Structures are given as C-alpha cells and as structure tokens.
Structure 1
Amino acid sequence: MKKYISTLFALGSLLFLGVSCDSEAELTYLKEVNFPTDIKIAPSSTIVLLEDNADQNALTVSWDAVTFPIAAPVTYAVQFDVPSDITGANAWLKATRFEVGQDVLTKSFSVRDLNKIATDLGIPPSKAGKLVVRVEAQMDRKVFSNNVELTVTPYEKAIVFGEIYMPGDYQGWAVETAAALTAIEKGVYQGYMTADGTALAFKLNTARTWAEFYGAGATNEDLVRMDDDNLFLPGAGSYQIKANLNTLKWSAIPYAWGIVGTAQTGGWDNSTAMKYDHQTKTWKVTADLVPGALKFRLNNKWDVNYGPKDATTNTINRDDQGAYTITEAGTYDVTFTIDETDPATKGYPATATCTIVKK
C-alpha cells in the first residue's frame, strides 16, 4: 500500500512539474520578438550631399511595426554608425541615435542632418564613406532591425560672411542702427532681440538701405521680397531669430541668458533674465544683489551654464561649477558676452566674458 501511495505521489509530482513547465513557457520574456521585415531606405542608399540643398530631404527610413507580447506602445529609434564600430564587445557604442517616438514608423533626415551625422562619425568631406543604419524597438526589452549600409558623400560647410539687418518699431525703423543677423551658413542668418510689448513690427533688409528688404507673406513666418506687410515678433521678451533666405522662412524662439545664484532673488532655482543690447551685442541686466554666489545660465535651465575657473578674472567657462562671490549688497550692472556662431550645430563656446560692477 505504501508503495502504491509513493507511486501516485511521484506521478502527481511529475504532472505538477509538467503543468508548471507548460505555464512557464507562456511567460512573455521567453517569447522571441523580431522586426517582421527589413527596414526601407528612400530615395536611395547612395547619397551625395550638397550644401545648396541643405534644407531638402536626404533620407527617409521606414519600417513595419514590431509586435511585442504585451499590448502597449513601442518606442522606436534610428541609429547610425560606421562599419568598423558595429562588431565586437563595443558594437554600436559610438552610434548616433535619434529617438523617433511611440508607434511612429518613419523618420526623415534633411541634407543638413545627414551631413552632420556623416562628418561627426568621421567621414571626410567630398569623399564617399560607409554608414550603417538600423532601427531600435523598445518595450520590455530592446530589439533591433537588420543593418542597412549607406554610401554617403558629405560636404564641407562653406565659411560664410555677411549680415542682414532688422529695422523695426524697437528703434524707430532706422536701418542704419538696426540689429544685425549674422550669416551662420549660406543664406541662413541668426541674431537676438529683446522687445517690449508694443515694439514688435520689423522687416529684414539685405543692406543698411531700403533698396532690398523682406516683409511678411501668406503667414507671419513667410518672407516675401519687397513686401510692405510687416513681420512681427511673438510678444514681449527675448528671442533667438533665424532667417533662411533659401527657404524664405524665419523663426523666433524664446531665448535669454540670465544670472543665477544666491546673490540674486531667485537663488539657485530661478534666474534673473538679462536683456539683449543689439548695439553692443551684449546681454545686460541691472539688478539688486545681496552677498552670495553668482553665475550665468541659458533659458532658466542648467543645460548650458557658465562659471569662472578663476573668480579674479572676467573669463567664464562652460559647465564650470565655480561662481563669483558678491560681498556687498547693492545695485549692480551685469553684462554677459558670448560668441554664438550656430549653437544648433556647433554647440556653445568653451568660454565667455562678463562684467559685474556695483553702481
């Protein structure tokens, strides 16, 4: 009888283990997930990039949706690398990655974008080089598409010179003293402006005369040569302004350097915004300060900030933890001067300069 009971117990244990194994086989982490098809490249996998076409589309990468065992959004990203970096222990660690978003199945890159990707990854200008592209899908894990190889010939950005000018309400429409927007690439100009709530209208002139100017087109963002309709800033505040005479578009995004630290009213949490002086190309603020620390940052965030390595000098360094020490309460004139050629593509310079003068 005992032998019979033991046999039944053993059979029951085997059945239990069998059921457990079957149940465990259904767990999602054991299910394989793959891209259903290869990614698609358009219009071609051989691309010669030209600076004159910088704003045109150079490459569109598309793919079919990846199905995970869990019903939830899938986040996709596109990665670029060179063939020598996609194998071995450090495979794809130097890749340039662009997150596309949840359940988005395509990503386009302009000539300008792809040129920067290629040159940043080491392909020399005017020489055909190889890039490898793949797509990443992520939910409870990451899976990757098959690689696709591209042949890309980048260009070397031309050194550009020149300015256009911005006469408007803010300075009585005198083109002779209007703010300048400096060329950052061929046909593209960048500058800065601080406006009050009423002085918002302006035009863009190609010289310090009225022989050629641009006004508004169908929308405020359109530029039309010799059009009498004024362009308008979005409202009071400081802006980074870009005008593209290749595409006949312009933009103004909120943009202001400020002082931050325990010497000013916002402490380390909120900056005191500075205003842009277009005549001296300097950011300025007059502020009541108290004893404490002071440094500079952009747009009330810590992404880009400057502090002194040596607080006895007027030179400040990007991402430096140092700060100036204000020893005496009072009203101070503070200035900040920086050489910004094109932050979007070249980043911000290693150093800037400032003055802090008690009135």
Structure 2
Amino acid sequence: MKKLSFLLFALIGLISLNSCTEDDPFTFVAKPDPEGLAFTSSVADNYNLMASNGDNLAERFVWNPVDFDVQTPVKYQLLGSADMTFDTTDPIYEGEATNGAVTVSEMLALAADAGLDNDPETEAPNTGSLNFQVRAFVGSDGGNVVEQFSEVVTVNVTLPEGDAEPELPKIYVTGNFAVASGYAADWSPENGIPLAAEMGGTNYEGFINMDVEQPMYKFLPTNEGWDGNYGDAGAEGGAYTEVLASPGVDAGTPDGTGGYFYVKADPEALTYSLTETNWGVIGNATPTGWDSDSDMTYDAENKVWTLTLDLTAQEAPDNGIKFRANDAWDLNIGDSGADGTAEFNGDNIGVPEDGNYTITLDLSNPRMYTYTLTKN
C-alpha cells in the first residue's frame, strides 16, 4: 500500500511539473551590472559643425558592456537631446555594439532643436550645448523590459558664422516622364528630380509632375549614376506595391496614369508612396470663403501652381488663405511665422489689402516650399 501511494504521489508531481513547464511563461529577474553603465570615451572640448561636412563623423561614443545575468543579448541605444528630453523611440544608434557614431548632420539636427543659428545677421546664438546618453536594455519595450541608463554627457558645439544652411540629404527620381513633364531628360541620373529628407533622416519627400499616360521611374541614391538604384518589388514594370527593392522593376503610379504627385520614399524602410495632387486656394480672403477652393493651374515650364484672384484684406493667423490639395485638408500648406516659406499645416496666410492678386505656389524645391502673393 505504501509503495502504491508513493507511485501515486510521484505521478501527480510529474503531471504538475509538466503542466508548469507547458503553461507558465518564462520570466526572468535581471541583475544589473554592479558597476553601472557609463561612457568610456572622452569627448572634445568643442565641435565645429560645418554643414559642408555633414556626412563626416563628429564623434564616436564608446561605453562599457552591461551584464544583466541573462542569456538574452543586451541591446544599446545612443540617445541625443537638445534639452535633456531623451526619446528612446528615435535613437541615433541601436544595436548590440558598445559604440555609436554621430555625424555632423545629426549634431546639426540637434543644434537646430536647441535653437542654434549660424546666421550672422540674426541675434540667435551660434554656440551652445548638446546632450547624449546611452541606454542598455533586455526584453521588449512593449512588454517585459529591464533597462539601465548612463549619466548624461554634455558637449559644446559651435556653428561657424556664415556657414551655408545645412544641405538636406537627397535622393533622385528619373524615368520616362521627364521631357514630357517639363524636366530635362528621360532616364537621366544627372538630371534626376530630387526628393529631400530631414537632417539625419531617410524620410524623403517632394513633388513630381509625371505628365505621361503610363509613368515609369526609379529612385537613385545619387545623381551620378545607376549604382544602388531602387525600383518596385513587384513582378513586372509599372507595378505599384509601395515596397522598394534594389534594383527592382520600374515603378508605376497608383492607377497607372499620370499626374502631379506628392512622392515619399524611405530606402531604409523599403517603402514609398505617391499621392496625386491638384492644388487650390481657400480662406475668408477668397470670394468663396472657407466653403470651397479656388482651383490653381500648374505651369510645367516654371514648375509652379498659379491663380489670379480677387482677395480681401485679412490678418493672419486667424484669417487669410491657405493652399489645399484635392479639395480636402489632408494635405494643406500655410505659413507659420509669415516669412514666405510654406509648411504643411502652417498658419493662415494674411492678405495686406484688397485687390486682384496673382498667387503662386512653388513645390519644386523639396522641403523648401514657397509662395507669392503679387498685387496686379
């Protein structure tokens, strides 16, 4: 009887052990490195950030490895901030290496966030400080994560007076539409139409006129040749899957026909998109107020949208006009700061006095859009 009882308890224990093994999720309690996470490299006394050297290495930060006492690989993020507000969702570097490079362009982007300016005609300072921190973590940010942060390292930067505005990173588009659409040459890398990204980013955008029945095109990393070109990941020319491949097939448009498109591409994420746009003017300075748009006409020779219209005097930002695409607010352009530059979702544009105006919207220079109001 005792032997039978022993076997029964052993069987229950085995079943219980098997049940725990199958049903209980694996969790761990990580043990941080007792010495802590810290930068191990020294930094310069000052960094001179010249836009012309944007692709150059500004600094390579090095830190010690961290032992969380688990088998899971430790990941690191190098974080930069102008104001001590570090965003772990947008690191400068993320990976398993214990070092991360920062380019001049990436420091310039942080300097712009800090309000630094290299224009000698403004009162804004051209010297200041930027902050860097490294994060070590295991697990997933969406669930079970254990992390550790280093102390903040602050570096001094200078933007030399008179240095040109930082040139935005660009890629280029060329295809069978160029000549018919007012550009220089078909399938010509050197005459490629530029798309621009934010400093240090890969989110390229721009507007391109594709005035042919069936546009075909490719994306080029430079305007010097075909090396590294990107097309669509589809099976045959004219595909529009919104997925990039290198080299891929010649890409097409959403419905296979031509138009004036807002083009976005991210070669790092291997994505792209085209949105056909037709632009108009709306606002309480126009004859139809905020109820409907006054349509503009595209001038392919000068690469601008134009409209001649009677306007009434209105004061921005509460009143005035705005530019809209496709009679909707999804893509709208205004002017925050009333400086003549146009921004997506910007403030209303004021009208100084009543009169008949020629209005132009120039979207040909990617991420540097402009407009004019000229009284006739």
User: Do both proteins adopt the same fold according to a TM-score greater than 0.5, normalized to the shorter chain?
Assistant: no
Higher strand share: 1
**Bin of the TM-score, shorter chain as denominator length:** 0.3 to 0.5
